Chain A
Amino acid sequence: MSARTAGGRDPGLQPERTRLAWRRTTLSATVAAVLAAKTALQGGARPAGAVAAALCCALWLCFLLVAHRRIRALTASSTPAALAPRYAAAAALCAVATAVCGAALVI
């Protein structure tokens, strides 16, 4: 590729920027998961609340796993392959499931 420095590094630092975007997104997911856990455990540990909190934690771990694998793929190569659709779908479905959990808790 013509747009490369002598070291083989992308001068626009695209893989790094994408990696940091994944990091920011995991931070957002962490905030959402903490708020979800607070909602779930409010007013004592009822069984339903505990289940919802555990579910939100599991979803957060799923999201971390997806992000971790993608970050590893991004750092492994200087011209990383495009994101696999199932990773994108998994990340988005984690967000959706957290929202559904939240809706069940709020009502």
Chain B
Amino acid sequence: MIEFARNLRLWFVPQEIRREGGTPDYRFSLANERTFLAWLRTALALIGGGFAVDQFLPDLRWGWRVGLALSLLAAGVLCSLRAVNHWVRCERAMRRGEDLPVSRFPALLGLLVAVVAVAMVVVVLVGWEG
């Protein structure tokens, strides 16, 4: 948590990141930026999915609909915050010449999406019968 707070400072104080290590090859920085953007698109897709559940499954019971929509929106929030955090960590690791940080976030997100998808299949099937 303290590590996250320290990274949070780096989001808004770019001079601090430049103070560490040397500037890496611009191509590495651009690749890191594209990875960040890919994660941001994933986050936006999750957020759009949350809106879509709310809009296009109107026959669901209120609890299920809101629960699914909120979990997708929450996943989108987590994903976009994590995108910036991971980008900052990668940028700093590249400047210091360290290994890139590893993360269990992709596995967790994959599991969460799988659970939500299965829940959605069940909910849609049961919802149509009842």
Q: Which residues of A contact B (CB under 8 A)?
A: 1, 3, 10, 12, 14-15, 17-18, 21-22, 24-25, 28-29, 31-32, 35-36, 38-39, 42, 79-86, 88-89, 91-93, 95-96, 98-100, 102-103, 105-107
| A–B pairs, 23, beta carbons within 8 Å | A1-B25, A14-B27, A21-B34, A24-B41, A25-B41, A28-B40, A29-B44, A32-B45, A38-B51, A39-B51, A80-B30, A82-B29, A85-B17, A86-B14, A88-B11, A88-B84, A95-B43, A95-B76, A99-B73, A99-B80, A102-B47, A103-B74, A107-B70
Nearest-CB residue, chain B, relative to A31: B48
C-alpha gap A17/B51 in the complex (Å)? 29
Interface pair B50/A92, CB less than 8 Å apart: no
Given contacts A32-B44, A83-B36, A106-B70, 13 further A-B contacts (CB under 8 A): A15-B30, A36-B51, A38-B55, A84-B14, A86-B11, A92-B83, A95-B47, A95-B76, A96-B80, A99-B47, A99-B77, A106-B51, A107-B70
